[in-house]
Amino acid sequence: MSRKEKFGSSRGDKQQERAARPPSIGTDSNKGDALPPRRKKHHSSNYKLTKWYYNLLFVLFVSLVAGLFWYGTKFTD
């Protein structure tokens, strides 16, 4: 038994058969309702957490500078 008889037609024959057949309606996976990206469907809270973290660092830095300035002006006289 030859390989072609055992396993069927070659790859080129299958491509020719597909080209000869008319396309089926509704079986194309690229058409129809496309799903939204996963990032839009399931939002990540990392951005919000990072924003809060940097804002907190900024507020702490400004309060440290203000506190050191106040301390310097109060106790230098």
pLDDT of residue 33: 81
Query: Mind listing the pLDDT tens digit for each residue in 18-37?
Result: 666 655 555 555 566 888 88
Measured distance CA(77)–CA(71) in Å, rounded = 11
Measured distance CA(57)–CA(50) in Å, rounded = 11
**Of the candidate ranges 11-15, 30-34, 48-52, the one whose mean pLDDT is the lowest:** 11-15
pLDDT of residue 73: 92
